[in-house]
Amino acid sequence: MIAREVAATVAARREETAAPTPQRVIPDGCNVGVVLRVALGANAVLALVALASQAHWPGAWGRFLELSAIVQPALLMTLLAWCGLRRFLPEASVATQRLLAWVAPAACAAAALLLAGPFGVELAATPQVAVLLIALAGGVVAQHYFELRERAFSPAVTEARFQALQSRIRPHFFFNSLNAVLAVVRSDPARAERMLEAVAELFRAVMGDVRKLVPLEQELDLCRRYVEIEQTRLGDRLQVEWDIGAVHPRARVPQLLLQPVIENAIRYGAERQAGDCRIVVRVRQLGFRLEIFVSNPMAKDPLQREGNQISLANIRGRLALIYDLEGELTTRVRHDRFELTMSIPVEKRANA
């Protein structure tokens, strides 16, 4: 009996390790991906209900509009409620968060029914109690779906962390860095010390959580340290032009977001160029979005360009894991230069 309980406990812990319970299980009503999925799902169910209740298309369309007068305001209020609860709710247990996420659609549906009454909008064929029960069931289904989805992505985030060790900071980069330190350790001990500190900072960042949000200035400082190391190896022909605009002082970005992009620019640009290589890094805040632009000379070798695309696919995967549909990455070739643009929401808080 005891052995069976121990085995069950071990199995439960193993399952929790493979797919850990997220600390925030309330759907993010401010996320574009969540909004689209909930809106499409709710309206699809609404259309099926309308078609099932009416035999002809005109009647079904009228029924759809009638139900929409209640459902659409309730849907909007639910998304706003989820957004506010996820961001401003004090620390609460997972069970409490689930309960709030389930009840929010029903409460918003009740509010929509009360607001619609004075305007003469009524659901003649559907009791109000049924509407509230359907809203409650919808909240349970939606919350459970998004929690399972976040659980499913947890192993992928762990895998992405190991990909960071292999694809962002190349193993031979550390050997090159150490050789560069040895080259200046006698002639310029202070510079060698700074380079060793930079290598240590890169090690610390790579071994950290790839989902961690850090201040933008901290990420830029890490990139400048990386460039200083590469300039020691490649010489004065590697020039990086930093154009950092006005950004919210508390803006945060995922750790190692910009560094692998600059590494790609050096790896597939400066290392393949015989002459000077100028890399442009521009950061701008446009409203509630942060735009990062990197431009570098384009590699001529098709195989090298293909390898660059593989590295960019890893970066796109990280953006999708962290920001869902709100993270964007676009590339283009213009005037023999490779241009990359990333756009992400401005984050002002760190992940828990």
193-202, 254-263, 289-298 — which one is most confidently predicted on average? 289-298
* 129-159 pLDDT per residue, tens: 888 888 999 999 999 998 888 777 665 555 5
Tokens 């032009």 locate to: 241
User: Who wins on pLDDT, 168 or 131?
Assistant: 131
Q: Which residue has the higher pLDDT, 28 or 152?
A: 28
C-beta separation of 318 from 329 below 8 A: no
Up-side HSE of residue 62: CA atoms within 13 Å toward CB? 8
At 38 the pLDDT is: 93
Residue 143, burial from CB neighbour count under 10 angstroms (0-12, 13-18, 19+): buried
Q: For the segment 71-122, what is each residue's pLDDT rounded down to a tens digit?
A: 899 999 999 999 999 888 888 888 999 999 999 999 999 998 888 765 444 5
pLDDT digits (tens, 9 = 90+) for 32-70: 889 999 999 999 988 988 888 777 888 888 888 888 888
Mean pLDDT of 258-280: 81
Helix H or strand E segment including 323: helix 302-323
Q: Would you call 144 exposed, middle or buried from its count of C-beta atoms within 10 A (0-12, 13-18, 19+)?
A: middle
Residue 211: closest CA among 248, 143, 160: 160
Q: Coil, strand, or helix at residue 240?
A: strand
**Secondary structure class of 242 (helix, strand, coil):** strand
SS3 readout for 277-317? EEEEEEEEEECCEEEEEEEEECCCCHHHHHHHHHHHHHHHH
pLDDT for res 6: 40
Structure tokens at 163: 């990909």
| 113 in Cβ contact with 1 (< 8 Å) | no
pTM given for the model? 0.66
Q: How does DSSP classify residue 256?
A: T
Q: Are 226 and 234 in contact (CB under 8 A)?
A: no
Question: Kind and range of the H or E element at 21?
Answer: none
- In this prediction, residue 276 carries a pLDDT of 79
Going from the N-terminus, what domains does the chain have, and what CATH number goes with each? Answer: 2-155 (no CATH), 169-345 (3.30.565.10)
Spacing of C-alpha 282 from chain mean position: 21
Distance CA 42, CA 177 (A): 55
Return d(Cα 298, Cα 305) in angstroms, integer: 8
CA distance to 30, 59, 70, 90, 223, per residue, from 26 (Å) = 11, 37, 23, 13, 35
State what percent of residues in the chain have pLDDT above 90: 23
